[in-house]
Amino acid sequence: MKKQVTLSKEFLKGVWDNNPVLKQLLGLCPTLAVTVSAINGLAMGLAATFVLVMASLLISTIRKIIPPQVRIASFIVIIATFVTIVDLVMKAKFPDLSKALGPFIPLIVVNCVILGRQEAFASKNNPGRAFLDAIGMGAGFTIALLVLGGIREIIGSRTFFGLQIMPDQFEPWLIMILPAGAFLTLGLLLGAVNVYADRKKRLEHESLVAHYKRVGREELIEELEVK
Amino acid sequence: MELFIIFISAAIVNNFVLAYFLGICPFVGVSNKLSSATSMGMATTFVMVITAIVSWLLYNLVLIPYNLAFLQIPSFILVIASLVQFVEMVIKKVSQPLYRALGIFLPLITTNCAILGLALFGSMREYSFLENVIFGLGAGAGFTLALVIMAGIREELDLADVPKPFQGAPITLIVAGILALAFMGFAGMI
């Protein structure tokens, strides 16, 4: 039973607590560059998730064979192989999307989220756990890109996934789909995430203090303040 | 004239950081002090020019003639990584002052997406050899410019009273957004 809980945590930590974009600030280049629309963000997120999951699975399977001295180089070659697969498949099946994302699909190779997970997690854990971790991180990355792309598309071109949802009276803010809008939106989004996380932390702290007061162990509160 | 336009376009109008979002990690990470921003910019420019030369040769003399264009991504990244390592060793042997100025930044640059982006853009746009080198030089100059401006602003920003949740990365991104807005003014130039 205990194992079950930790496994689901392995998955969930990537979605929120350690969200690669919103909390760890990794992989910002593709995040900012492709999120002109929700569909672009989703496509980029899924492509990166595929590479992350496949690379994590393979690397955690052969982690004992890779000599530690050349591990980074081997990781990069493995990642580059999967990126090439994604790039070629997208060129063949979704030529429009591939053109819209431009060089950012090949640039998944140097996405620090992917290399970071291999170094920090997949090279030290069994394939099952590495798979869950990769899926979670990929989901977190995709969600962040989708939210950013959604906000920018709704305000910048009145549509969401190509469907018009804002009334005609609403004048689209051109800046949102220009580079400057990407920086501004992500900056405000990060600020909002920090506000939310701070408030959650304070509420937790207060409820802990109240609990200690109830059971009459004031000395623990002081310990908490020191922390 | 053609070369001049490529240079200006890469450096200012289509600035790598502010228009293409390449190299955001060092842009956010290293831009808090003017001196380290200058060194980082110079080291990146140096690697960019070398990358432009080598990636052009690799793409046009090896990958295209032997029909291996699908190996572009792995071969570029491997060549860039080993090249940076090699350059680091050479600089360490040849010039100690230069090594002290650029040394610690060189390994970081290998995984900078601006470098791989430069190589990919070069092959995508089918530049000639000279054009590609100028493109690399312009991209490096643009990167340095953005980094130095940003570092200057952030040194002042330390004194500003920023709301707590916005301190650090969020305010940096918002400032970068305003900077990108200013750089959009150059868009009509070419």
Q: What share of chain B is helix, strand, coil (3-state, %, to 5)?
A: 80, 0, 20
Distance of CA B101 to the CA centre of its chain: 17
Cβ B39 vs Cβ B145: under 8 Å: no
Task: Check if A89 contacts B (Cβ < 8 Å).
Answer: no
pLDDT band at A50 (very low <50, low <70, confident <90, very high): very high
Helix (H, G, I), strand (E, B) or coil at A164: strand
What's the Cα-to-Cα distance from A1 to each of A5, A204, A213, B69, rounded to whole Å? Answer: 7, 26, 32, 51
Strand partners, A163: A160
Contacting A with CB below 8 Å, chain B residues are: 18-25, 28, 70-74, 77-78, 81, 111-113, 116-117, 120-121, 124, 163-166, 169-174, 176-178, 180-181, 184
Mean per-residue pLDDT over chain A, rounded: 86
d(C-alpha A180, C-alpha A188), whole Å: 13
pLDDT at B125: 86
Chain A stretch 163-202, residues whose beta carbon is closer than 8 A to a beta carbon of chain B: 175, 178-184, 186-188, 190-192, 194-195, 198
Closest residue in chain A to residue B166, using alpha carbons only:
A191
Half-sphere exposure of B32 (CA within 13 A, CB side): 10
* B190, part of any domain: no
pLDDT of residue A71: 83
Beta bridge partners of A164: A159
Q: Which residues contact B132 (CB under 8 A, 6 or more apart)?
A: B52, B53, B55, B56, B122
Q: Is the pLDDT assigned to residue A2 strictly greater than 70?
A: no
pLDDT of residue A204: 87
* B109-132 confidence digits (pLDDT tens): 766 788 888 988 888 888 899 999
Q: What parts of chain B have a pLDDT lower than 70? A: 102-104, 107-108, 110-111, 190
Checking if the pLDDT of A221 tops 80, the result is no
Domain boundaries, chain A: 2-172, 178-227
pLDDT digits (tens, 9 = 90+) for A128-174: 889 999 999 999 999 999 999 999 999 988 888 888 888 888 888 88
Q: Across the interface, do A107 and B111 touch by the CB < 8 Å criterion? A: no
pLDDT at site A5: 56
Nearest to A28 among B19, B25, B70 (CB): B25
* Residue A20 confidence class, pLDDT cut points 50, 70, 90: confident
Structural domain containing residue B86: 2-185
Quote the pLDDT of residue B140.
93
Percent of chain A topping pLDDT 90: 31
Distance CA A133, CA A6 (A): 11
Over the stretch A174-218, which tens digit does the pLDDT of each residue have? Answer: 888 888 889 999 999 999 998 998 898 889 888 888 888 888 777
Domain count, chain B: 1
**Cβ atoms of A131 and A52 closer than 8 Å:** no
Q: How far apart (Å, rounded) are the C-alpha atoms in residues A106 and B133?
A: 21
pLDDT attached to residue A1: 36
SS3 B99: helix
- A135 vs A14: CA distance, rounded Å: 8
Specify the DSSP element, H or E, that contains B66: none
Residues in chain B, overall count: 190
Task: Quote the CA–CA distance of B169 and A46 in Å, as a whole number.
Answer: 25
Structural domain includes residue B133: yes
Q: Which one of A21, A23, A26, A28 makes the best mutation probe of the B interface by having the most chain B beta carbons within 10 Å? A: A28
What is the rounded distance in angstroms from the CA atom of residue A113 to the CA atom of residue A134? 10
Interface test with chain A among B30, B70, B73, B124, by most A beta carbons within 10 Å: B73
* pLDDT tens-digit readout, A3-18: 455 777 878 887 888 8
Instruction: Round to the nearest angstrom and report the end-to-end CA distance of chain A.
Output: 32
B150, part of any domain: yes
Interchain pair A190, B178: CB under 8 A: no
Over 90: is that where the pLDDT of A85 sits? yes
Nearest to A107 by CA among B37, B124, B28: B124
- The answer to whether A112 contacts B111, with C-beta atoms less than 8 Å apart, is yes
* DSSP-assigned letters across all residues of A37-101: SHHHHHHHHHHHHHHHHHHHHHHHHSTTTS-GGGHHHHHHHHHHHHHHHHHHHHHHH-HHHHHHH
